[in-house]
Homo-oligomer: A and B are copies of this chain.
Amino acid sequence: MSKIAVFRKEHFNAAHRLNNPSWTDKKNKEVFGKCNNPNYHGHNYDLVVKVVGEPDPQTGYLIDLRMLSELIKENVLDKFDHKNLNLDTKEFKDLNPSAENIAIVIYNILRDKIDSKLDLQVRLYETERNFVEYPVN
């Protein structure tokens, strides 16, 4: 039987700054431009979590989306919402909070919490026009 995917969209707001501490200020500014602003800037992040597997014939659900929403809230939003990603989170103390890295971090957090029989992918919108998806096969 074919598999099905279910998606849940959540959002959080955060400040961040892109910077590589092993580089000079000049190089950081050249590479990261306005995203290197020392006092941070911020985004409304939209997060779409995709879970793939076979639905349960008893419920017609692949996964209860209210439970998936709760799981994202407890494990991702409570960590990152209304935070400064560089200063307030252990995940980005030593990791540049690019959209790519935020998506990978969120994937790894959720991968531990969701049944390994189910495939998982996250899409993260930093803005309406810039977004990332992880993993890609």
Contacts and interface: CB of A to CB of B under 8 A. Distances in A.
Interface of A: 2-11, 13-16, 18, 20, 31-35, 37, 39-44, 52, 55, 58-62, 64-66, 81-84, 87-88, 95-101, 103-104, 127-137
A100 B68 CA distance: 15
Chain A interface, DSSP helix/strand/loop, else mixed: mixed
Nearest to A63: B100
Contacts of A14: 41-42
User: Nearest 6 CB-CB pairs, A to B?
Assistant: A42-B42, A2-B135, A60-B98, A39-B84, A34-B82, A15-B15
Given A4-B135, A34-B82, A15 B44 contact: no
